[in-house]
A = this chain, B = another copy of it.
Amino acid sequence: MMNASIRVSSPLTAVVGLLLTVALLAVSPNADAAEPLLVEKKSFTTRNFATVSGEVIPEVTVGWEAYGELNAAKDNVILITHFFSGNSHAAGKYTPEDPLPGYWDAIIGPGKAIDTNKYYVVSSDTLANAFPGLPHVITTGPASLNPATGKPYGLDFPVVTIRDFVNVQHALLESLGVTSLHAVIGASMGSLQAIEWAAAYPDMVERMVSVIGTGAMDAWTITALEHWARPIKADPNWNQGDYYEGEKPLVGLTSTLAMITQQAMHPLSMNMRAPQQPVLPEAGLASVTNSLPALDFLFNAAAGQAPLADANHILYLVRANQLFVAGHEQDLATGLAKIKAKTLFLPAKNDLLLQPYMAQQSVKLLQAQGKDPQYAEIEGIWGHLDGIYSISSKADLLAEFINSPTATSN
């Protein structure tokens, strides 16, 4: 057996991360390792939820889970906000038999960077979660039943924003009697929520960690996200969002999921995983309609996941991301100016989706406002996914940041 201090990670056993919403984790194979944290998926409902777009959703239900214990003062709460294709399952296992724990199990748990012996860590599903077909996901979105019609909302569901995601989480915390956050921490779309939390509820948020994120969308990213939406909209089965009684737009969904996954990766990791292409493969040379060996890896995985995703939900997530600027203010600087939290930005050096220039932009603006944001780049071969797969390389920095005093509290 290996020494307890040695942790092994095996990139080759990892499945395509954003699709399966599982992470490649550093596992401790030694016999005396701690039991896996067992977690329970719960459900939270709020009624007459008013959206930023000015509509009211009669009933919003989202899933959530928590790790650790809420203290008596209810001031030891850390909120985790999830990425585009993720869900609340950030740590632990639902059953001991689960093959893999939550996506950030490397940093969340007893004695880990986000120490569940000290903190009560809450993680919730967002509105319009991308994968409502996954067994543990609980979400409200276009695929949910519209009480007015008894049928799925489809495009009658109001457009929702990152602020709406935050407001659902706010209602959840309120139901728990929680009025302050020791920290809010999220990766990618979760980073948008974390920043939005700090800008929208500055007096509630003491620390904010943005992992592989941005304080605002730019034209480049708004356009990149549109490429994710177009295959769905172009699929005849999409039918203007009304497909719940017919064929699902799986061809478009497959294109979208494959694109998302590639853009979240990096040539270094993809070239390691895909099979070497033989010279002039016979089928590929015979017709442009035939696939190639290098393609099956990604597109087969995407096709396998497509039935668990919802096309409309993905369109709504795309739009929520496209509309994001911190605090919904007229510009990023104004939004960031509202933040009182201590901040830490952790972009991934090889990220091709939300490149480090985006985090740097927020850092520079905060510095210009006399604040002291912290910044470090995650190294790795995964690109954007280094925010998940390589997060343990920043465990010490994270722990130090989380445990550091703020101006108003410690």
Chain A residues proximal to chain B, CB less than 8 Å = 52-53, 155, 159, 161, 217-224, 226-227, 229-231, 233-236, 240, 251-252, 255, 258-259, 262, 266-267, 270-271, 273-275, 277, 279-281, 284-289, 292, 294-295, 297-299, 312, 315-316, 318-319, 322-323, 325, 328-330, 352, 355, 357
Q: Could you say which of B219, B235, B262, B284 contacts A322, with CB atoms under 8 Å apart?
A: B284
Q: Which residue of B lies closest to A299 (CB)?
A: B226
Interface core residue of A234, A286, A319, A357 (most chain B CB under 10 Å):
A234
| Distance, CA A352 to CA B357, complexed state (A) | 14
Assuming the contacts A240-B289, A285-B53, A328-B280, asked whether A231 and B219 have C-beta atoms less than 8 A apart, the reply is: no
Contact A295 B227 (CB under 8 A): no
| Distance, CA A323 to CA B281, complexed state (A) | 8
Contact B274 A219 (CB under 8 A): yes
Question: In the assembled complex, how far is the CB of residue A214 from the closest CB belonging to chain B, in whole angstroms?
Answer: 11
Q: Could you say which of B235, B271, B281, B295 contacts A218, with CB atoms under 8 Å apart?
A: B271
Contact B155 A267 (CB under 8 A): no
Contact A159 B316 (CB under 8 A): no
Contact A234 B219 (CB under 8 A): no
Which residues of the partner chain B approach A234 to less than 8 Å between Cβ atoms?
231, 234-235, 251-252, 255
| Distance, CA A230 to CA B255, complexed state (A) | 7
Which residues of the partner chain B approach A298 to less than 8 Å between Cβ atoms?
223
Which residues of the partner chain B approach A161 to less than 8 Å between Cβ atoms?
280, 285
Q: Which residue of B lies closest to A266 (CB)?
A: B220
| Distance, CA A266 to CA B52, complexed state (A) | 32
The A interface is mostly helix, strand or loop, or mixed, namely: helix
| Distance, CA A240 to CA B270, complexed state (A) | 30
Contact B222 A295 (CB under 8 A): yes
Contact B231 A279 (CB under 8 A): no
Which residues of the partner chain B approach A231 to less than 8 Å between Cβ atoms?
230-231, 234, 255
Question: In the assembled complex, how far is the CB of residue A41 from the closest CB belonging to chain B, in whole angstroms?
Answer: 28
Contact B218 A279 (CB under 8 A): no
Which residues of the partner chain B approach A352 to less than 8 Å between Cβ atoms?
352
Contact A267 B220 (CB under 8 A): yes
Q: Could you say which of B219, B255, B285, B288 contacts A52, with CB atoms under 8 Å apart?
A: B285
Contact A294 B223 (CB under 8 A): yes
Q: Could you say which of B217, B262, B275 contacts A227, with CB atoms under 8 Å apart?
A: B262
Contact B294 A219 (CB under 8 A): yes
Q: Which residue of B lies closest to A159 (CB)?
A: B285
Q: Could you say which of B258, B284, B297 contacts A319, with CB atoms under 8 Å apart?
A: B284
Q: Could you say which of B274, B288, B297, B323 contacts A159, with CB atoms under 8 Å apart?
A: B288
The 4 closest A-B pairs by CB, nearest first: A219-B274, A220-B267, A219-B294, A222-B294
| Distance, CA A234 to CA B329, complexed state (A) | 39
Question: In the assembled complex, how far is the CB of residue A249 from the closest CB belonging to chain B, in whole angstroms?
Answer: 10
Question: In the assembled complex, how far is the CB of residue A224 from the closest CB belonging to chain B, in whole angstroms?
Answer: 7
Which residues of the partner chain B approach A233 to less than 8 Å between Cβ atoms?
289
| Distance, CA A157 to CA B275, complexed state (A) | 28
Contact B262 A288 (CB under 8 A): no
Interface core residue of A222, A295, A325 (most chain B CB under 10 Å):
A222
Interface core residue of A155, A262, A287 (most chain B CB under 10 Å):
A287
Contact A287 B222 (CB under 8 A): no
Which residues of the partner chain B approach A53 to less than 8 Å between Cβ atoms?
285-286
| Distance, CA A336 to CA B227, complexed state (A) | 36
Which residues of the partner chain B approach A299 to less than 8 Å between Cβ atoms?
226
| Distance, CA A292 to CA B159, complexed state (A) | 13
Could you give 16 example pairs across A and B, Cβ below 8 Å? A53-B285, A53-B286, A159-B285, A218-B271, A219-B277, A220-B262, A222-B277, A222-B295, A223-B258, A226-B292, A226-B299, A234-B255, A267-B357, A280-B328, A285-B323, A288-B315
Contact B277 A217 (CB under 8 A): yes
